[in-house]
């Protein structure tokens, strides 16, 4: 046992680390709550959280143990010397296995499920044995003697190690244990030794940059400044060695191009460009770094890129228009942002990981600013392009999330599938969905000095030192939200209620009386007072179904309309049309009168939107490409719209979010 000054010093170090563990980021307006502070109790997100616990996590585990899958837990056991065999699957397999462990950590933080704790301990022990003595761990390299460390960017070593570090930080917060954190620190120390000198040969080594936000997170947990400095080094390296034009036009080439967001240094970038997962991960890392350093050049770049991304994002929050193509600067790109207003529907790639990356990025922008537009963007992803990835039973998943489906699987790439799958040639998306839903409580609220900010509505209980409250609602199906104060300090505290940009006419009442402040759409409503146990706030967010049109520059949606209700985007599936009616024959009147109905079916428990559209009969084209126009007599047609996130749960069917108007 240490005594005297040494013991005091160690106690101060431990206290410092504990304070960093929960401290405000110095350049963020808001701070997130701990996962254990929020418990979903009823309604939409409670059901999804339970679905994640009961179905998603077991399904992901089973797939990671299935030899047909591209991601394989067994690689970790082989590297640890616990199994015999050679490496299986994709180069990025390790990283997606760590995402599953992170999802379990988030779930354990709330449920304290002993089986999850046991399972994490088991796999952390395997990972520790698989780690090389110098801290390196990427089993695709360790198990293949023909491959060398830091040889090719396609090997995804940094992606794998970044997700390990993130999962280890989540595990530390959830359990208080150091077992996984010790592995993560060895990884980070190894990376510091390799990359801190900034060797020119490794300037393009960083492809899918999960390690940037991971290193900032590790700094927050440990207080070790070198990890923050290393995150800055990685961000600065990005774009320091641009490719030649010839390299940029070669799809086989990675590094130094728009595909990997490193043709232009981040601090000078003006566009949301290139691979949409690597882009959103990069911008998440930069936002995390800004929260700690306050570097204005970083923030200016993030604002510019965000404004560009807005013009390149789908109504569902999907962030990936191009399965393949060229950037505006001429580089070969794939799984990428398109140009401004380039938003095709049938070929919309919208990889699940990219959509969720978009939400992750907007959550960070929200923490920095407290600006409701970022919460709106985050919520749009969560209710639409993130959830469309998972089946109603929680066991199968989509990689691509197009906005229209005409029955052609595998076109334009293999990732376009007519139904969700259990295993896949690129299994990165299911653990991404699982870790997001398991950890969503931390996105629901934030705090600032003497204020609690409510970003996401859903039945839950919040228990923080500043305030305790219960939220009762059936949002997003119902427009009424009730907040009941359970405990409050004897001083004024503000409740900051997000009024979504679509919620014109929102109203708020406190203990039955109309609130003094006006509820403005697209902003936070501040209700500041000295609260008492039993006080009630009633918020109403009008949810009349509404028709949405796109900017005329979105060529794919000219003279088309979409339907939204609250934050939910709707679509039409051919299974809901009368026999003999084709989806291509449906026209949507511009003055459609809608009704809503609550239905429980294979879609789950959802609200559907019903109306009357027009059918314009289409004679058989018999493979003709063109013909003389012949006006058809329109016929009235009752139609049903379902939530976009619930499509493809009733067998193979055609689907479209955008429909031609009359």
Q: What share of the chain is helix, strand, coil (3-state, %, to 5)?
A: 40, 20, 40
State whether 187 and 247 are in the same domain: yes
Percent of the chain predicted with pLDDT > 90:
88
Token couple for 471: 């939220």
Quick check: is 3 in a domain? Answer: no
Q: Is 1 within the bounds of a domain?
A: no
Confidence label for 504 from pLDDT (cuts 50, 70 and 90) = very high
Residue 88 lies in a domain: yes
Structure confidence at residue 251 (pLDDT): 65
Domain contains 4: no
What is the pairing mode between strands 480-487 and 536-540? antiparallel
Q: What average pLDDT does the chain have?
A: 94
pTM for this entry: 0.95
Asked whether residue 274 is assigned to any structural domain, the reply reads: yes
Out of 540, 570, 597, a domain closes at: 540
Other C-beta atoms within 10 Å of 326: how many?
17
97 in the same domain as 123: yes
Number of domain units in the chain: 3
Whether 530 and 600 share a structural domain = no
pLDDT at 141: 98
Per-residue pLDDT, averaged over 363-372, amounts to 98
Let me know if residue 363 belongs to a domain: yes
Do residues 440 and 453 share a domain?
no
Supply the CATH number for residue 272's domain.
1.50.10.10
Strand partners, 345: none
Q: Report, as an integer, the average pLDDT of 158-163.
A: 98
At 5, is the secondary structure helix, strand, or coil?
helix
Find all residues with CB under 8 Å of 437, minimum gap 6, and list them.
48, 49, 51, 52, 56
The residue-averaged pLDDT of 475-488 equals: 98
Reported as a single tens digit per residue, the pLDDT across 53-70 is 999 999 999 999 999 999
β pairing state of 451-454 and 493-499: parallel
What residue ranges in 315-386 does DSSP mark as E strands?
322-326, 332-336
Would residue 56 count as lying in a domain? yes
- Rounded to an integer, the average pLDDT of 40-50 is 98
For residue range 373-422, list pLDDT tens digits in order. 999 999 999 999 999 999 999 999 999 999 999 887 777 888 889 899 99
Distance CA 300, CA 291 (A): 13
Segment 532-564, tens digit of pLDDT: 999 999 999 999 999 999 999 999 999 999 999
Phi and psi based region of residue 518 (left: phi greater than 0; alpha: psi -120 to 50; beta: remaining): beta
Listed in sequence order, the residues at least 6 apart from 630 whose beta carbon sits closer than 8 Å to its beta carbon are none
Between 142 and 629, the higher pLDDT residue: 142
Domain membership of residue 653 as a residue range = 546-660
| For helices 352-369 and 429-438, angle between their N-to-C axes, nearest 10 degrees | 30
Say if residue 155 is in the same domain as residue 247. Answer: yes
Q: Are residues 247 and 392 in the same domain?
A: yes
Q: Say how many C-beta atoms besides its own lie within 10 A of residue 151's C-beta.
A: 12
- The beta-strand segments (E) located in 362-406 are 404-405
Question: Do both 485 and 575 map to the same domain?
Answer: no
Do 569 and 601 lie in one domain? The reply is yes
Q: Which of 514, 540, 566 is the last residue of a domain?
A: 540
Residues 137 and 272 in one domain: yes
- What percent of the chain shows pLDDT beyond 70? 96
pLDDT digits (tens, 9 = 90+) for 294-319: 999 999 999 999 999 999 999 999 99
Together in a domain, 512 and 585: no
- Same domain (yes/no): 99, 202: yes
Radius of gyration of the chain (CA): 25
What is the rounded average pLDDT of the residues 72-87?
Answer: 98
Same structural domain, 192 and 333: yes
CATH of the domain at 474: 2.60.420.10
Single residue among 425, 444, 463 that ends a domain in this structure? 444
pLDDT of residue 662: 84
E strand or H helix that includes residue 640? strand 635-643
Q: What residues contact residue 617 under an 8 Å CB cut-off, 6+ apart?
A: 585, 632, 633, 635
- Is pLDDT of 18 > 50? no
d(CA 115, CA 186): 27
- CA-based nearest residue to 274, from 219, 315, 335: 335
In angstroms, rounded to a whole number, what is the distance separating the alpha carbons of residues 610 and 639? 6
Classify residue 2: in a domain, yes or no.
no
pLDDT tens digits, residue range 178-212? 999 999 999 999 999 999 999 999 999 988 999 99
């Amino acid at each position: 046992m240490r005594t005297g000054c040494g013991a005091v010093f160690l106690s101060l170090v431990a206290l410092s680390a504990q304070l960093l563990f929960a401290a405000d980021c110095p350049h963020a307006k808001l701070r997130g709550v701990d996962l254990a502070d929020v418990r979903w109790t009823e309604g939409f997100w409670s059901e999804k959280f339970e679905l994640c616990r009961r179905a998603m996590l077991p399904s992901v585990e089973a797939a990671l143990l299935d030899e047909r899958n591209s991601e394989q837990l067994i690689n970790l056991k082989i590297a640890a010397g616990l199994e015999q065999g050679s490496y299986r699957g994709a180069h990025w397999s390790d990283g997606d296995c760590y995402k599953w462990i992170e999802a379990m950590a988030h779930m354990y933080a709330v449920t304290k499920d002993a089986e999850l704790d046991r399972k994490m301990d088991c796999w952390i022990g395997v990972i520790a044995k698989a780690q090389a003595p110098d801290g390196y761990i990427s089993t695709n390299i360790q198990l293949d003697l023909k491959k060398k460390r830091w040889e090719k960017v396609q090997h995804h070593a940094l992606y794998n190690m970044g997700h390990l570090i993130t999962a280890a930080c989540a595990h530390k917060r959830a359990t208080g244990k150091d077992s996984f954190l010790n592995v993560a620190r060895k990884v980070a120390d190894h990376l510091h030794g390799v990359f801190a000198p900034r060797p020119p040969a490794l300037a393009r080594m960083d492809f899918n940059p999960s390690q940037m936000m991971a290193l900032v997170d590790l700094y927050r947990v440990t207080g070790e400044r070198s990890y923050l400095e290393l995150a800055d080094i990685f961000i600065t390296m990005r774009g320091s060695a641009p490719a030649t034009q010839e390299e940029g036009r070669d799809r086989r080439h990675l590094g130094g191009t728009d595909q990997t967001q490193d043709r232009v240094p981040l601090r000078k970038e003006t566009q949301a460009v290139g691979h949409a997962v690597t882009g959103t991960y990069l911008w998440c890392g930069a936002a995390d770094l800004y929260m700690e350093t306050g570097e204005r050049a970083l923030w200016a770049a993030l604002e510019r890129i965000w404004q560009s991304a807005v013009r390149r994002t789908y109504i569902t929050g999907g962030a990936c228009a191009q399965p393949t193509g060229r950037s505006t600067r001429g580089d070969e790109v794939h799984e990428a942002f398109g140009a401004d207003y380039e938003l095709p529907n049938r070929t919309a790639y919208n990889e699940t990981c990219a959509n969720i990356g978009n939400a992750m990025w907007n959550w960070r922008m929200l923490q920095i600013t407290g600006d409701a537009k970022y919460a709106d963007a985050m919520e749009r992803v969560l209710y639409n392009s993130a959830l469309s990835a998972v089946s109603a039973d929680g066991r199968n998943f989509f990689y691509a999330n197009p906005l229209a489906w005409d029955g052609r699987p595998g076109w334009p790439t293999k990732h376009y599938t007519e139904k969700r799958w259990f295993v896949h040639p690129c299994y990165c998306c299911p653990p991404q969905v699982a870790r997001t839903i398991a950890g969503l409580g931390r996105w629901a609220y934030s705090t600032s000095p003497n204020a609690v900010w409510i970003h996401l509505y859903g039945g839950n209980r919040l228990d923080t030192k500043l305030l305790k409250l219960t939220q009762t609602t059936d949002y997003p199906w119902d427009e009424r939200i009730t907040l009941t104060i359970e405990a409050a300090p004897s001083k004024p505290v503000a409740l900051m209620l997000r009024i979504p940009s679509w919620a014109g006419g929102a109203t708020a009442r406190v203990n039955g009386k109309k609130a003094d402040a006006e509820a403005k759409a697209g902003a936070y409503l501040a209700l500041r007072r000295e609260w008492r146990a039993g006080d009630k706030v009633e918020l109403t967010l009008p949810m009349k179904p509404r028709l949405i049109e796109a900017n005329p520059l979105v060529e794919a949606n000219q003279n088309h309309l979409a339907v939204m209700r609250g934050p939910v985007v709707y679509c039409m599936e051919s299974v809901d049309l009368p026999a003999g009616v084709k989806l291509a024959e449906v026209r949507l009147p511009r003055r459609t009168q809608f009704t809503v109905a609550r239905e429980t079916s294979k879609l789950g428990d959802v609200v559907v939107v019903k109306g009357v559209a027009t059918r314009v009969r289409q004679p058989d084209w018999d493979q003709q490409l063109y013909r003389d126009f012949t006006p058809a007599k329109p016929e009235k047609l009752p139609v049903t719209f379902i939530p976009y996130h619930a499509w493809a749960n009733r067998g193979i069917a055609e689907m479209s979010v955008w429909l031609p108007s009359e």
